[in-house]
Amino acid sequence: MVMHSTCSRTCSKQITVLSYLRFIVLLMNCSSARAFSSSVAATFLFRRSPRPTSTSLVPEEVLIASSSSIRLSMSTESEPVAKRQKIQGVSAGEEVPLYRGEGLFAVNKPLEWTSNDVVSYIRGILERDARSRGAKVVKPGRRRKKGVVKVGHGGTLDPLASGVLVIGVGSGTKELQTFLSGSKRYRAGVKLGFETETLDMEGNVTDTKPFDHVSLESIQHCIPNSFTGEIMQVPPIYSALRKNGKKLYEEARAGKTASELGIEARKVHIYDLKLRPTNEKGEGLPCFGLDVECGGGTYIRSLVRDLGRELDTCATMTSLVRTQQAQFLLDDTLDKDDLNADAIYAAIDKTNAVLRTGLKGE
């Protein structure tokens, strides 16, 4: 009788243990149960189930291992699949890199965007990409360095200009200074007979003069004599240059004139200047075009202004496209609609490959 009672209790415990093992399998296969916290699952298992004896068919280690599997399954399932896939290959405890690549590439700056607008737009794209991969990202600040996505440009383009804008990402920002002083190519549209306060189509007209005496021949004659090589040029008052600690365009908006501010002429270098008989719209005189290759610090607006005055009339720049900056050509740039993290990092990889090839060839 005693033996029968002992066997019954042992069998009962074994059946109970097997029942909870089946429950474990259900938990691992049921998608809704995976949302439970691991602590709740563990509490249910070990508080409700009898502690198996040494005569049990299933040892205690099996239950512990099973509960650990449930916790692992739950924690893995709660993490977004895309995020897990993107950070595969990163060892446990290893910090996810902020960038997928670092270096230089070029964009086609949209009209009416400032160069800093482009930089901010690209930084936002790369910050979102870094977060999606699990990288720690912080906003730029004076004392913050780690975790800040570094993006900069290699030479300002006016809002009414478009074309090649070199962008540096990460360590590539340290190379941008080279592009600020390097050679650039532009295509400008020009119209004779008037001049504006901004020297382009954005400002109010400040002067008008007759232009009937001007011909393509007279323009062509004027170009090599006065506007190639090293020349002196007065920057436009509507520019980001500083005078007495203030930006010139701020002084201009306050009502001051170029003569009142005493803006000094600077040396700039015009490597090549070619006349085009029509502007960007195919219009002839009083409209025409210019292809310019120049050094850093050159203002095409000022060049057009000075050319008009040399022709004994006025002239204003009607359009401007930067067609080349160093090795970056307009045809190789990314348009705004094509800007995404994959395209940006592919462009950086392409530039790095070209630069490596160039170094090997030297």
Q: Minimum mean pLDDT among 53-62, 173-182, 195-204: which range?
A: 53-62
State mean pLDDT over 200-209: 94
- CA dist 4 and 264 (Å) reads 112
State mean pLDDT over 47-76: 41
Q: Which of 3, 358, 320 minimizes the C-alpha distance to 163? A: 320
Q: Minimum mean pLDDT among 163-172, 258-267, 323-332: which range?
A: 258-267
How far separated are the first and last CA of the chain, in Å rounded?
98
CA distances from 140 to 143, 243, 352 (A): 8, 28, 26
Q: What's the pTM?
A: 0.70
Catalytic residue at 158?
Answer: yes
Q: What pLDDT sits at residue 40?
A: 37
* Tens-place pLDDT, residues 63-80: 334 444 434 344 333 343
Q: Which of 129, 158, 200, 306 is catalytic?
A: 158
State mean pLDDT over 21-50: 44
Which helix (DSSP H) or strand (DSSP E) does residue 238 occupy? none
Helix axis angle, 216-226 relative to 300-310, nearest 10°?
A: 120
pLDDT band at 19 (very low <50, low <70, confident <90, very high): low
Q: What pLDDT sits at residue 90?
A: 53
Q: Which of 177, 169, 208 minimizes the C-alpha distance to 191? A: 208
State mean pLDDT over 288-297: 94
Asked if residue 304 has pLDDT above 60, the reply is: yes
Pairing of the two strands 266-276 and 229-233 = antiparallel
Q: What pLDDT sits at residue 334?
A: 97
Written as one string, the DSSP assignment of 151-210 is EEESS---TTEEEEEEEEEGGGGGGHHHHHHS-EEEEEEEEESEEETTSSTTSPEEEE--
pLDDT band at 24 (very low <50, low <70, confident <90, very high): low
Give the type of residue at 154.
G
Q: What pLDDT sits at residue 46?
A: 39
